[in-house]
Amino acid sequence: MKSHKLFFKFLRFIKPYWVKETILFILMVIASAGTLVSPYILKVIIDEIIPTKDFTFLIHILFLLVGINIVRILLDFYSSYLYALVSNHIMLDIRMELFKRILHFPISFFDKNKTGDVTHRINEEVNAVQGMLTGSLVRFIRNILTLIGLTIALCLLNYKLFIISMVVVPFALFNARYFQPRIHNLIKKSREKDSDILGFFVERFNNIKLIKSYNRYHYERERLNSKGNELIDLNLKTAILSSGTQSITTFLISLSPLIIFAWGGQNVIIGAMTMGSLIAFIQYLNRIFNPVNDFMYLYWDMVRTSVSMRRIFEYMDLPIEQMSGDIENIDLNKKICFEEVEFKYDGEIVLRDFNLELIPGKKYAFVGSSGCGKSTIINLLCKFYEHQKGTIIIGDKKIEDLNVHEVRRRIALITQDNHLFHDSISENIKYGNLDCTPEDIIHVSHQVGLDDFINILNEGFDSIIGNEGTKISGGQKQRIAIARAFLKDADLIVLDEATSALDSESENNIFNNISNHYKGKIIILISHRLSAIKNVDEIICLDKGRVVEKGEHNYLVQKKGFYWELFKQQIE
């Protein structure tokens, strides 16, 4: 898509602020008209006032000029205020829409895209577009109005001289157009490299303990230095090409006043033109080349911004999770069935001919080696991914016919990653139910054994836990995550290695509370610890995407099959 078409697609973000934009437009018309006055006044002073020696008229004219400049200053001040107001709102609107879309992208999007690149687009690319939609648009309109006014003034003074002065413009436009594709390509590569560096920072800060434990300071500095040098090289090439193009344009434009001095000077000498008219013409001409030059810069701004626009619209045009589906008839209080389900990820089969039945009121445990499909089953239940073959039925409805948000609302998922925010303990727990009361938070905290920990903190529930809970222990992170799930009061709860950091006694207490809290509901445990799974109603043993054994703990131990081999060391 061409740059100007991308620009017009973004104009919808300006539409809500059309009143303020109209006021800006009117102010610019008045300001542009003010710029046309002073050269003409100079002509009047040279051709009429000085020859007649009318000092009183001169004073009146000068006071008029001062008044016009004061009005222009006031208008510029208010225009700057309106510009800042509108531009910041537009930036927020673009960022909000982009953020909203990204939140609704499928999980597969986040599997395939770097966090740094996503962050770069929603931050840096939006900033670049904001400048184009507001600042550049304002400059463009102001320059158009100024050019129209100056062109009329120049033609009225001497239309032949105006035509001669414009002879260099086509060469300047051709010069800009010739180099545009090369500069666009360099800017695109530069933005991608800049995004790559931001992703590098995000990954390194998320893995700071790993870097420190292996003393990889020098290694990481060298990697950043290498990436930084590549970015510098791209930016230098862009700067050289852009500067060279602009320098050629400036040189071509600088030839025009020389032509005017030669042609206009001859007309003054032979009496075909007054000195005041020539000076006024040159004054107007000097002013006309400012917006012409600015158009060149605006053109390059559009080239640069078009890269950001494309990178933003790549996300705007991506499909989001389907919002449609049955909302009323979702019933997780009935059995859930997997029938001949197959799921592939990047062409690799994860589940094959998978069959399973989950009944409300029972506790299940999924066990098996890494990659056997345990977490995939949960991902399919939560509609994070879509299965390719077979049928998943919730109650009496196929899962693909159910509303994705309503399905997730009925499921409480707790993973070993915990996923905590850099916020207070209470806010992290409250995330499970934004309408909960402080008493509800205290109650669920008691159920997961957070009482003693909270009581020793100076700020209690208002204590900040740090990024991903870095200020608290692994066990406390898991307790907070489980308390958050309790508040959700879902119809199905999944604990994916959710108690791995707790001791056996604490784990048993929490499991008992979960059983009481979710009585009559489906409870699923995924764990490698025998103590966590031995008391469930049914253990599902998985291998290579299939159910190979299932039953109670004692039955599977006596059978001495797959389950026995998996947990032999813990059993013995």
Rounded Cα distance, 290 and 294, in Å: 6
Per-residue confidence (pLDDT) for residue 459, from 0 to 100: 85
Per-residue confidence (pLDDT) for residue 35, from 0 to 100: 66
Give φ, ψ of 496 to 5 degrees: -100, 95
What digits encode the pLDDT tens for the residues 327-358?
565 666 678 899 999 998 887 888 888 899 99
Whole-number percent of the chain with pLDDT over 70: 84
What digits encode the pLDDT tens for the residues 109-165?
888 888 878 888 888 788 877 767 666 767 777 777 777 777 777 777 777 777 777
Per-residue confidence (pLDDT) for residue 213, from 0 to 100: 67
What is the pLDDT confidence band of residue 176, given thresholds at 50, 70 and 90? low
Per-residue confidence (pLDDT) for residue 538, from 0 to 100: 92
Rounded Cα distance, 161 and 170, in Å: 17
Q: What is the pTM of this model?
A: 0.73
CB atoms within 10 A of CB 67: 10
Per-residue confidence (pLDDT) for residue 328, from 0 to 100: 60
Nearest residue to 301 via CA among 407, 466, 515, 143: 143
Rounded Cα distance, 551 and 312, in Å: 51
Side-chain-side CA neighbours of residue 159 (13 Å): 3
DSSP string, 532-572: HHTTSSEEEEEETTEEEEEE-HHHHHHHTSHHHHHHHHHH-
Nearest residue to 316 via CA among 86, 70, 97: 97
CATH 1.20.1560.10 fits 3-316, yes or no: yes
Per-residue confidence (pLDDT) for residue 296, from 0 to 100: 67
> Does the pLDDT at position 554 exceed 70?
yes
Residue that has been written with the tokens 């998978």 in this structure: 354
Domain ranges of the chain: 3-316
- Tokens for 419, please give them: 């996923």
- Tokens for 439, please give them: 């008493």
> Does the pLDDT at position 290 exceed 80?
no
Give φ, ψ of 335 to 5 degrees: -70, 155
Rounded Cα distance, 549 and 546, in Å: 9
What is the pLDDT confidence band of residue 364, given thresholds at 50, 70 and 90? very high
Whether 354 and 546 have beta carbons less than 8 Å apart is answered as yes
Per-residue confidence (pLDDT) for residue 36, from 0 to 100: 67
Averaged pLDDT for residues 511-518:
82
| DSSP H or E segment with residue 345 | strand 336-345
What digits encode the pLDDT tens for the residues 227-275?
888 888 888 888 788 777 777 777 777 677 677 766 666 666 776 667 7
The larger pLDDT score, comparing residue 291 to residue 482, is at 482
Whether 522 and 492 have beta carbons less than 8 Å apart is answered as yes
> Does the pLDDT at position 317 exceed 80?
yes
Whole-number percent of the chain with pLDDT over 90: 2
Alpha helices in 121-216 (DSSP H): 126-131, 137-165, 169-206, 208-213
Averaged pLDDT for residues 434-439:
88
Averaged pLDDT for residues 100-112:
85
Assign 232 to helix, strand or coil. helix
> Does the pLDDT at position 3 exceed 60?
no
Per-residue confidence (pLDDT) for residue 184, from 0 to 100: 73
Q: Which residues of 426-464 are buried (b: 16+ CB within 10 A; e: fewer)?
A: bbbbbbbbeebeeebbeebbebbbbeebbeeeeeebebe
